[in-house]
Amino acid sequence: MTEAVIEVQGLVKDHFSNFLRKRFRALDGLNLKVEKGESFGLLGPNGAGKTTTQKLLLGMLKPTEGSIRVLGKSPGDKEALAKIGFLPENPYFYAYLSASEFLDFFAQLFDMNKNDRKARTKELLELVSLSEAGNRPIRKFSKGMMQRLGIAQALINDPELVFLDEPNSGLDPIGRRDIRNIMLMLKEQGKTIFFNSHMLPDVRDICDQVGVLHRGKMVGQGRVEDICRSGTYKELEDYFMDLINSSEEKYRQSGNATPYHIEREGAQQK
């Protein structure tokens, strides 16, 4: 249980706005370590840099500084990607396909043969309670159905490591419970889970470890049992609020000293 599945050191990511090449530091000196079989919940207010972190881990963005190892490889490595599942934030899928065609297409990208693809598609549609909608075009799916299909898509290759960006947003209470159960099931199967979320009760149920991002910096990190057992915090939410408040306070006192946070409004939509 000491094998690091995700290892990040000193990760910095600058975004550049197109015209003026204005720099915005979305991530600032992030360190992370997630071990095999662990579930890690990345928390933080809107615009904190959670999605940016996942995109960097998946090789969709290139780091400005720092090192990233995922499953022992650099991000975006094909061999590693074969063992990874990913659900993007607010996923959008090929509207012209049906749900089963969609899953079948992704199964093909993992080089699965026809029989396996068929079996896997059926199994996953059942798992996310979309069996009845399997042949309907995705165009006609509701937001929650899309989210469920997204989860199914992320599990198509029976991944060792799953990245989920807000898997429980946009769902009804039943959907949220279903997704939570699926995540608990994955955990039981020994998969490593890395996910972003605002649903703190779910995070508490699922995660071993949480990290709280604020303005691109990790302002708190710890094991959920320690945080909630310590007595200081009854709920994860109290911990979260406390960290964000004190960090925001510090940020104010420093008189906006961090030179890269130029677009302040963008960083604090909430």
Partner 1 sequence: MIGAIAANTFRETVRDRVLYAILIFAALATLAGVVFGSLSADQDVRVLEDLGLFTITTFGGVIAIFLGTNLVFKEIDRRTIFLIVTKPINRWEFVTGKFFGLALCVFVTNFAMGLFFQLVIWFQTGNFNSALPMLGSLSLIYLELLLVIAIATFFSTFATPLMSMIFTCGLWLVGHLSFSFELLAALARKNDSIATEKLALFLQYVMPDLAKLTTVRGDMMDARYPSADLLGYVIAYILAYLVILLSLSTIIAERREFN
Ligand X SMILES: Nc1ncnc2c1ncn2[C@@H]1O[C@H](COP(=O)(O)OP(=O)(O)OP(=O)(O)O)[C@@H](O)[C@H]1O
Q: Rule CB under 6 A: which residues touch ligand X?
A: 15, 17, 24, 26, 44, 46-52, 89, 266-267
Q: Please identify, using beta-carbon distances, which residue of 89 and 248 lies nearer to Mg ion.
A: 89
Write down the least CB distance from residue 267 to ligand X, Å: 4
Q: What is the DSSP string of 120-136?
A: HHHHHHHHTT-GGGTTS
- Is 4 among the residues that bind partner 1 (CB under 8 A)? no
Burial class (CB within 10 angstroms; exposed 0-12, middle 13-18, buried 19+) of 9: middle
Percentages (nearest 5) of helix, strand, coil residues in the chain: 40, 25, 35
CA distance 57 to 75: 6
- Is 197 among the residues that bind Mg ion (CB under 5 A)? no
CA distance 78 to 121: 23
Report which of 175, 147, 196, 186 is spatially closest to residue 46, judged by C-alpha positions: 196
Chosen from ligand X, Mg ion, partner 1, none, partner binding at 17 (C-beta under 5 to 8 Å by type): ligand X
Chosen from partner 1, ligand X, Mg ion, none, partner binding at 24 (C-beta under 5 to 8 Å by type): ligand X
Write down the least CB distance from residue 116 to ligand X, Å: 34
CA torsion through residues 187, 223, 169, 25, sign: negative
Report which of 60, 122, 131, 64 is spatially closest to residue 89, judged by C-alpha positions: 60
Considering only the stretches 35-43, 91-99, 207-215, 220-228, report the one whose residues sit in contact with partner 1 under the rule CB under 8 A.
91-99
Chosen from ligand X, partner 1, Mg ion, none, partner binding at 60 (C-beta under 5 to 8 Å by type): partner 1
Chosen from partner 1, ligand X, Mg ion, none, partner binding at 96 (C-beta under 5 to 8 Å by type): partner 1
Chosen from ligand X, partner 1, Mg ion, none, partner binding at 35 (C-beta under 5 to 8 Å by type): none
Angle between helices 99-109 and 114-127 (to 10 degrees): 130
- Is 63 among the residues that bind partner 1 (CB under 8 A)? no
Are 127 and 86 in contact, with CB atoms under 8 Å apart? no
Q: Please identify, using beta-carbon distances, which residue of 44 and 134 lies nearer to Mg ion.
A: 44
- Is 49 among the residues that bind partner 1 (CB under 8 A)? no
- Is 54 among the residues that bind Mg ion (CB under 5 A)? no
- Residue type for position 55: K
Build a one-symbol-per-residue string for 62-91: x at contacts with Mg ion by CB under 5 A, - elsewhere: ---------------------------x--
Q: Which residue is listed with tokens 């071993």?
A: 208
Count of residues of this chain found to bind Mg ion when the rule CB under 5 A is applied = 3
Are 212 and 44 in contact, with CB atoms under 8 Å apart? yes
Name the token pair of 43.
């928390």
Would you tell me which residues interact with Mg ion (CB under 5 A)? Answer: 50-51, 89
Would you tell me which residues interact with partner 1 (CB under 8 A)? Answer: 55, 58-62, 76, 78-79, 81-82, 84, 86, 88, 91-94, 96-97, 101, 105-106, 108-111, 153
